[in-house]
């Protein structure tokens, strides 16, 4: 996993290899209900509504979660969508000043799928937000994506992540 930063924004990137067909892997991520499956239980993450049964451009998803015991609402919209290639969700309301999460899927030679998550994010509150990122948020995001990787690899009976770069 990589976490790069500009003065105010950060990028988190994780690439994982999953055995199986591209259509099957993409179908799993195309179902918004699977977000609950791949989100750590300590976040208390629950989908409260979704505008569509499957992800497509324009889909809106509302969630409720807890960060350090504090309940929060989050709403995102699918901004990009290309079937069996990629999609991106953008936070409309929630804890970040910006959150844009791209999910890319690519069939690899010899079978399997390379799945890459790339999140561009920025915290509110300027210098205070940067301090909180350094002290808490970057570690928390790493733990969330570590959990996601474990659950997804178990789901598809995958080997260890193809690339896992530390911040």
Q: Which of 17-21, 50-54, 157-161 has the lowest mean pLDDT?
A: 157-161
At the top level of CATH, the class of 2-155 is alpha beta
What are the tokens at 83? 């079937």
In sequence order, which ranges of 44-163 are alpha helices (DSSP H)?
Answer: 126-132, 138-155
Report d(CA 116, CA 101) in Å as an integer: 10
Residue 93 near residue 83 (C-beta atoms within 8 A):
no
What are the tokens at 54? 């499957």
pLDDT in tens, 99-152: 999 999 999 998 899 999 999 999 998 888 888 888 888 999 999 999 999 999
């Amino acid at each position: 996993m990589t976490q790069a930063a500009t003065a105010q924004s950060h990028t988190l990137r994780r690439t994982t290899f999953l055995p199986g067909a591209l259509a099957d892997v993409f179908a799993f991520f195309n179902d918004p209900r699977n977000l609950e499956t791949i989100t750590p239980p300590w976040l208390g993450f629950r989908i409260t509504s979704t505008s569509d049964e499957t992800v497509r451009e324009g889909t809106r998803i509302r969630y409720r979660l807890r960060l350090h015991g504090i309940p929060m609402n989050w709403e995102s919209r699918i901004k990009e969508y290309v079937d069996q290639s990629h999609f991106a969700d953008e936070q409309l309301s929630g804890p970040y000043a910006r959150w844009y999460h791209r999910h890319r899927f690519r069939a690899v030679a010899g079978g399997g799928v390379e799945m890459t998550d790339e999140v561009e994010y920025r915290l509110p509150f300027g210098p205070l937000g940067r301090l909180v990122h350094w002290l808490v948020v970057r570690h928390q995001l790493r733990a969330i994506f570590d959990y996601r990787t474990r659950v997804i690899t178990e789901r598809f009976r995958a080997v260890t992540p193809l690339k896992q770069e530390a911040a």
